[in-house]
Amino acid sequence: MNVIVRGCRKTYIEQIVNKNDSNVQIVIDDEINKNIIYDKLLANRIDIERETGGLIKDYHWNKKEESRRIVFTPDKIDGGFLDQSRWNEIQNEMIRRSIIFNKILSSRLGKIP
């Protein structure tokens, strides 16, 4: 897990591996400021979609709100821990997504008051 912390705000990139699929998601884990952080990212939506090269699409901006977190989940990666013959490919895609998300969040979290 890659953790980015700015003051009391905590936003991180979470990697998930299931039996048949995997994913990398952005988690805003700040009960008090989660909507401020999400809205700030949403205000940069067009740039973020462009910077991900289509990884983040229009329908991914539907807010999936939990008790204290907002989870932002793109399309799943086909393949999970049962796909041992493809594990390098799956892991490389997860790393690629993590790097992209890290760059996007790092450049924008500093702009949140």
Mean pLDDT, residues 73-99:
93
Mean pLDDT, residues 27-44:
86
Of the pLDDT bands very low, low, confident and very high (cuts 50, 70, 90), residue 1 is: very low
Quote the tokens at residue 10: 């905590």
A 10 A CB-CB count for 80 gives 19
> Which class for 98: exposed (0-12), middle (13-18), buried (19 or more C-beta within 10 A)?
middle
Range of the domain at 7: 2-109
A 10 A CB-CB count for 52 gives 17
Of the pLDDT bands very low, low, confident and very high (cuts 50, 70, 90), residue 71 is: confident
**Residues in the chain, how many?**
113
Quote the tokens at residue 69: 């977190």
C-beta separation of 12 from 27 below 8 A: yes
Mean pLDDT, residues 60-78:
79
Q: Which residues face 78 on adjacent strands?
A: 21
Domain count for the chain, please give it: 1
Of the pLDDT bands very low, low, confident and very high (cuts 50, 70, 90), residue 65 is: low
